[in-house]
C-alpha cells in the first residue's frame, strides 16, 4: 500500500494545505495490525506550476473562480502525480484538490492531530489504512 503526505521539504515536515504543498512524500506500508511499518519510497515535487509559497500556509485563500479550467487543470496534475497511491493524509484540501486526488483513486484521510513529522503522523493514523 502506498501513502502520500504533503511535506515542506526533504526533512519530511508536514505541510497542512495539500493543494499548496511544495512536495509529496510517498511511503510504502507493509505488515498488518500492530506490525505495520512505513518506508519512504520517494519525494515528489508538487507538479502545480502556479504556486506562491511566500505566504503562510494556514492563511492562504484561493482567489479563483469555481469554473476556472486552468486552475482545475493545475490541481489535476497533483492527482496524476500521486496515481498509484492508495491514500493521502491531509489537514486541509480545497474541493478541486480533493476531486483531483479521488478521481485518480487516491483516498483522502483527514489528519486532526498536531504532529509535524510525516513518520509520526503515519504511526498515529495507521489503524485507519484498510
Which one of 3.30.1280.10, 1.20.120.1770, 1.10.287.70, 3.30.420.130 gives the CATH number of domain 2-54+68-128?
Answer: 3.30.420.130
- Cβ-count burial of 2 within 10 angstroms (0-12 exposed, 13-18 middle, 19+ buried)? middle
Confidence bin at 71 (pLDDT 50/70/90): confident
Domain ranges of the chain: 2-54+68-128
pLDDT digits (tens, 9 = 90+) for 23-70: 999 999 999 888 899 999 999 999 986 676 554 445 545 555 556 788
| Confidence (pLDDT) at 56 | 45
Q: Are strands 87-90 and 37-45 parallel, antiparallel or unpaired?
A: unpaired
Query: Whole-model pTM above 0.85?
Result: yes
Amino acid at each position: 500500500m502506498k501513502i502520500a503526505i504533503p511535506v515542506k521539504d526533504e526533512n519530511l515536515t508536514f505541510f497542512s494545505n495539500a493543494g499548496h504543498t511544495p512536495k509529496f512524500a510517498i511511503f510504502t506500508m507493509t505488515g498488518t495490525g500492530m506490525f505495520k511499518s512505513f518506508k519512504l519510497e520517494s519525494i515528489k515535487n508538487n507538479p502545480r506550476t502556479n504556486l506562491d509559497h511566500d505566504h503562510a500556509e494556514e492563511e492562504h485563500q484561493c482567489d479563483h473562480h469555481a469554473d476556472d479550467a486552468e486552475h482545475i487543470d493545475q490541481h489535476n496534475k497533483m492527482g496524476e502525480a500521486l496515481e498509484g497511491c492508495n491514500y493521502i493524509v491531509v489537514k486541509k484540501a480545497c474541493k478541486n484538490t480533493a476531486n483531483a486526488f479521488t478521481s485518480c483513486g487516491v483516498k483522502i484521510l483527514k489528519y486532526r492531530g498536531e504532529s509535524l513529522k510525516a513518520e509520526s503522523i503515519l504511526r498515529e493514523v495507521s489503524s485507519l489504512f484498510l
